[in-house]
Each structure stands twice: as C-alpha cells, then as structure tokens.
Amino acid sequence: MKPLVLYGAGKIAEVLLFFFRTNSQREVIACTTEKDFLPNGTWSDLPTVPFESLLKTHPPEKYDLFVALGYQDQNRLRSQICNKARAMGYTLPTYIHPASGVPGDFEYGDNCFIMNNVIIHPKVRIGNNVFIWSGAMVGHHSFIDDNCWLTSCCNISGSVLVGKNTFLAVNSTVGNSVRIGERCFIGANALVTKCTGENEVYLMESNRPHRLSAEQFLRMSKFSDI
C-alpha cells in the first residue's frame, strides 16, 4: 500500500484527512493543490507540494493520490482533477469506512469516499468519484453514476439510476425505479417520484415562521409539561 498524497486544502479535505488518519491504514504524507491555491509551507501538519511539480516530488510509481474536493460546479472541479491525475498515471484509491455497512457485493470505482453509518443494500453499484456522506441510504439494484455527491440522510429507493454529476442534499428522497438525469440538483427535503431530465433542479420551499413566538407556542402547546 503506497503512501497517499491528498489533493485539496479546504474543509472537505480536512474531513477526509481525519478519516484517513483515524480509520484507515493509509499514511497521508503531503497535501497538494495548484500553486496559486496552495497554503504556505504546511497544511494540517502536512508538507504542501504544488500540483504542477507533483510528478517530480511524488511520482505515481511511489505514491497514490486522493482528490479531496467538494461539489463545486456540480462536482465538475473534482472530476477534472481526477481526470488530470489519472492521465499523469496516479492510482486514485477509494476510501470505505470500516463502519460503513457496505455489503460484500458492493461495486465501486476509484476516488470514491464512503463515510461511516451509511445504509447500502445488496446489488448496488457506484461509478468513479462518488462521495456518500453518513446517514445516506441507497436501495437495492440502484446505480449511482460518476462524480455524484450524496449528502447525509438522503434516501435513494430501489432500482434507481442517478446520472453523472448529480447532487442530492440533506433528507432528499428519490422514489423507487426513478431515473435522475445528469447534472441535477435535488435540494434538502425534496421528494422526486418521477423520472427527471438533465440539468434540472428540485427544491422544497422553506417553511414560513409561525405567527406565534417560540415562547407563546411553548406555553400553548404545553411542550414544557412533557
């Protein structure tokens, strides 16, 4: 198992570095980004290396690379860096937390991140560069295509196909046998029960504040008596 270089120096990279350090056998030995975005000297106690010179300092024959970016530009930025790294010859390993609850027949690509406490049924497949946050559920016989992001507690029913570069927010739900097109944005608490096109947005309107103040509501509901 080769040492690992982490691409990224933001909040998502901090989260992934925590998991690599505490719940994996991978040794993360450096941080890299393009030099214009690279912290000076060190980041999270790691030496920083410009991505432009990574082939010389940390060649793919001796090091693996994990692209630890968020869902900027509908996951396109992370996908673009993955493509660059593959073309440079780097292996992009997948991280699966030991407490992820992944079944033995789970199929996945490279540069995927599966956090702890997910619920993934048998006969589920995911493509490359798919991130699944804790609490997410993926039902049986579903396929999540490349470069998707499933946030905490989103729910994908059985036999669902999620197209490339799609984002599913907290508590969003996709019904059984639904096809989600590429580059869709499924917002928090949104419910999708019919197949979508590509590049579509589904949002759940935020609740309006109640006419009563919090103190009035608590008195009238006798919530404090419970």
What is the CATH number for 46? Answer: 3.40.50.20
Q: Which residues contact 103 (CB under 8 A, 6 or more apart)?
A: 120, 121, 122, 124
- Same domain flag for 99 and 80: no
What is the CATH number for 127? Answer: 2.160.10.10
Q: Which residues contact 113 (CB under 8 A, 6 or more apart)?
A: 16, 68, 94, 95, 130, 131, 132
Q: Return the pLDDT at 138.
A: 98
CA distance 15 to 9: 10
Domain span holding position 24? 4-87
- Same domain flag for 68 and 124: no
User: Measured at the alpha carbon of residue 14, what is the angle toward residues 33 and 64, in degrees to the nearest 5?
Assistant: 55
Q: Return the pLDDT at 97.
A: 96
Confidence (pTM): 0.92
Q: Return the pLDDT at 222.
A: 66
- Same domain flag for 114 and 133: yes
Q: Return the pLDDT at 218.
A: 73
Answer yes or no: is 182 within a domain.
yes
- Same domain flag for 124 and 188: yes
Q: Return the pLDDT at 6.
A: 98
Q: What is the mean pLDDT of each run of 10 residues along the chain (226 residues)?
A: 96 97 96 93 95 97 98 95 98 95 95 97 98 98 98 98 97 98 96 97 86 78 61
Q: Return the pLDDT at 205.
A: 81
- Same domain flag for 70 and 111: no
Q: pLDDT by residue (tens digit) across 207-223?
A: 788 788 877 877 777 65
Cβ–Cβ under 8 Å, residues 198 and 180: no
Q: Return the pLDDT at 212.
A: 80
Q: Return the pLDDT at 224.
A: 55
Cβ–Cβ under 8 Å, residues 117 and 134: yes
**165 SS3 class:** coil
- Domain total for the chain? 2
**168 SS3 class:** strand
Answer yes or no: is 131 within a domain.
yes
Q: Return the pLDDT at 101.
A: 83
Answer yes or no: is 158 within a domain.
yes
